[in-house]
């Protein structure tokens, strides 16, 4: 994501948008797995980041990825940089 943010003008618009959506999809997949791990009853809170059982931070990051994708779909993310 950081490399795409720095070098997005060097890529064609089609490649930049595809890489952006791929990165957002990967973030969403990782966060969905994290939500599953947080909600699994056999996982103790001691092994989780911040030792919290409710996946609050995970859901925030997942929703931010969704908002980021929505804004990109509207054309408000890469063009304004």
Q: Report pLDDT digits (tens) over 11-28.
A: 887 887 888 889 899 999
Q: What is the pTM of this model?
A: 0.74
Both tokens of residue 11?
Answer: 């890529």
Number of domain units in the chain: 1
Residue 13 lies in a domain: no
Residue 80 lies in a domain: no
Mean pLDDT for the chain overall: 81
Residue 68 lies in a domain: yes
Handedness of CA 28, 60, 78, 72 (dihedral sign): positive
Residue 33 lies in a domain: yes
8-15 own/partner pairs: CB under 8 Å, 24+ apart? 8/78, 8/81
């Amino acid at each position: 994501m950081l490399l795409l943010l720095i070098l997005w003008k060097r890529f064609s618009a089609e490649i930049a948008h595809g890489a952006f959506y791929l990165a957002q999809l990967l973030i969403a997949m990782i966060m969905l797995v994290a939500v599953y791990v947080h909600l699994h009853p056999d996982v103790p809170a001691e092994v989780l980041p911040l030792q919290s059982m409710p996946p609050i931070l995970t859901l925030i990051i997942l929703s931010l990825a969704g908002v980021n994708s929505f804004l990109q779909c509207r054309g408000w993310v890469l063009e304004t940089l």
